[in-house]
């Protein structure tokens, strides 16, 4: 007795919720075979599957291939969005790059834009995608969703993100022109002696290194001040380990040491040096001694020195922190820094899989504290502020130009 299509539709509607994709395909194929000529068309109208799916089911029945544990054959189903739209990752990276905090190669990366905002902008650029899929792509690119952590050094400045974008543009333009771009800062001071150093290292079981039980030494205990210079374009580091005080003069002396030891050989045609720095400390934007010393550096080298400071509360996102200091800390974890030579050797041995190489030297010169810079000295500095936040972004030209 021939079954009408209405009965077939009722039959399929009762069964479909209980079946997976492959089972539906096989049931529909079996029914089509039982109906004979024209069965595929009738079953297609009754169950809603495509003619191609039913034909595939008929082929599977004919081949008697059970495919245990699988609903689809390997490689079947909707293609990965990166395969169907190869340019989407490039567009996503371009959208998030100016908003990225931290190191593009570091595990610690986060962005200012939400996945919904990114999905909307990608769709506007003809990359159809939902917020969930954007989140998956970000996860694949080693971004992560993280809760707040109390590491900020101050309140968020209203122009914080705009300053990040300004720095991003400055660095990109300088690198495009093959100008030297360095990220600078002072690593936290280290006690020299048999003091505990955070971290663990492999040793014979039950034989830990013995260190002093108290790490609150007297003022006469020697200290080290590692000042780091990270060459963004070449992925190399230079660390000047001071033994006296972390002052503006020491900061610029460290940059001068890098230029003499490495910079002028690597960039013989350079007319400008671009520096990204923290907004405080020995290279702070308010520090007069820092700017006076930079003027002397510009005069001695003939370079125009362009400086961009990170806004308040964002110093830890300076590249020197993640691309240099973090690896140095990992390299000497658990190792007491008993002598200055210990620090220099451990820093110089720091490397990464990405090819980071670090040069280190010891600076035993004296750097006086408390020096006052007069207004007259400040007027002699050839400082040209940028139109956007000139206190954070400025260029100091040589007086001879």
Q: Would you write out the chain's pLDDT as a tens digit for each of its 401 residues?
A: 466 778 888 888 888 888 888 888 899 998 888 888 888 888 888 888 888 989 988 888 888 655 555 555 555 555 678 778 888 888 887 777 654 444 443 333 445 567 887 888 888 888 888 888 888 888 887 766 554 454 444 456 788 889 999 999 999 999 999 999 999 999 988 887 765 555 554 444 545 555 555 556 667 788 999 999 999 999 999 999 999 999 999 999 999 999 999 999 999 999 999 999 999 999 999 999 999 999 999 999 999 999 999 988 787 778 888 889 888 887 777 577 778 898 898 899 888 888 899 999 999 999 999 999 999 999 999 999 999 999 999 999 999 75
Q: How far is CA 115 from the centre of its chain?
A: 18
125 and 174 in a common domain: no
Give the 3-state secondary structure of residue 370.
coil
CATH value at residue 291: 3.30.420
Contacts of 391 (CB under 8 A, 6+ apart): 285, 286, 385
Terminus-to-terminus CA distance in the chain, angstroms?
102
**Count of domains forming the chain:** 3
Write down which residue in 105, 140, 175 finishes a domain.
140
Query: By C-alpha distance, which of 281, 355, 338, 342 is closest to 315?
Result: 281
242 and 391 in a common domain: yes
Is position 327 within any domain?
yes
Contact 182, 230 (CB under 8 A): yes
Give the 3-state secondary structure of residue 88.
helix
β-sheet bridge partners, residue 394: 307, 385
133 and 34 in a common domain: no
98 and 49 in a common domain: no
172 and 91 in a common domain: no
Give the 3-state secondary structure of residue 42.
helix
130 and 270 in a common domain: no
Domain hosting residue 25, numbered range? 5-63
Q: Any idea how long the chain is?
A: 401
Is position 151 within any domain?
no
Query: By C-alpha distance, which of 102, 105, 119 is closest to 164?
Result: 102
122 and 23 in a common domain: no
Contacts of 262 (CB under 8 A, 6+ apart): 231, 236, 238, 359
Sign of the dihedral through C-alpha 200, 202, 207, 212: negative
Is position 73 within any domain?
no
Q: Name the H helices within 207-314.
A: 248-258, 264-266, 288-301
Which pLDDT belongs to residue 342?
Answer: 85
244 and 173 in a common domain: yes
In sequence order, what DSSP letters do the residues of 179-193 get, joined into one string?
A: --EEEEEEPPPEE-S
377 and 307 in a common domain: yes
Which pLDDT belongs to residue 97?
Answer: 62
What's the CA gap between 184 and 324, in Å, rounded?
10
Which pLDDT belongs to residue 334?
Answer: 58
Which pLDDT belongs to residue 139?
Answer: 80
55-86 burial string, b = 16+ CB within 10 Å, else e? bbbbebeeeeeeeeeeeeeeeeeeeebeeebe
Contact 103, 109 (CB under 8 A): yes
343 and 195 in a common domain: yes
85 and 59 in a common domain: no
């Amino acid at each position: 007795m021939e079954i009408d299509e209405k009965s077939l539709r009722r039959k399929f509607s009762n069964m479909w919720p209980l079946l997976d994709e492959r089972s539906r395909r096989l049931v529909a194929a079996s029914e089509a075979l039982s109906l004979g000529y024209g069965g595929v068309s009738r079953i297609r109208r009754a169950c809603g599957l495509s003619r191609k799916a039913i034909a595939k089911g008929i082929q599977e029945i004919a081949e008697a291939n059970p495919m245990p544990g699988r609903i689809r054959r390997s490689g079947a189903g909707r293609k990965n969005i990166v395969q169907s739209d190869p340019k989407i990752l490039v567009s996503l990276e371009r959208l998030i790059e100016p908003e990225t905090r931290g190191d593009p190669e570091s595990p610690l990366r986060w962005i200012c834009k939400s996945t919904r905002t990114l999905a909307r902008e990608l769709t506007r650029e003809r990359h159809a995608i939902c917020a969930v899929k954007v989140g998956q792509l970000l996860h694949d690119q080693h971004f992560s969703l993280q809760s707040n952590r109390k590491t900020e050094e101050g309140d968020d400045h209203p122009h914080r993100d705009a300053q990040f974008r300004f720095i991003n543009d400055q660095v990109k333009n300088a690198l495009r022109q093959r100008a030297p771009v360095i990220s600078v800062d002072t690593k936290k001071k280290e006690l020299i002696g048999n003091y505990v150093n955070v971290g663990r290292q492999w040793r014979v079981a039950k034989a830990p290194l013995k260190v002093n039980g108290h790490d609150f030494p007297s003022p006469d205990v020697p200290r080290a001040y590692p000042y780091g210079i990270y060459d963004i374009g070449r992925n190399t580091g230079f660390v000047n380990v001071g033994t006296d005080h972390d002052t503006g003069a020491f900061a610029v002396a460290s940059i001068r040491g890098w230029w003499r030891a490495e910079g002028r050989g690597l960039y013989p045609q350079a007319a400008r040096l671009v520096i990204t720095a923290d907004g405080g400390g020995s290279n702070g934007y308010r520090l007069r001694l820092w700017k006076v010393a930079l003027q002397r550096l510009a005069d001695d080298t003939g370079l125009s020195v362009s400086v961009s400071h990170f806004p308040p509360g964002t110093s830890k996102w300076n590249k020197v922190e993640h691309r240099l200091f973090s690896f140095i800390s990992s390299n000497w974890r658990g190792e007491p820094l008993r002598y200055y030579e210990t620090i220099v050797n451990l820093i110089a041995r720091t490397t990464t899989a990405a090819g980071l190489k670090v040069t280190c030297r010891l600076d035993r010169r004296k750097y006086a504290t408390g020096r006052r810079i007069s207004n007259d000295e400040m007027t002699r500095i050839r400082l040209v502020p940028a139109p956007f936040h000139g206190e954070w972004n400025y260029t100091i030209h040589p007086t001879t130009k």
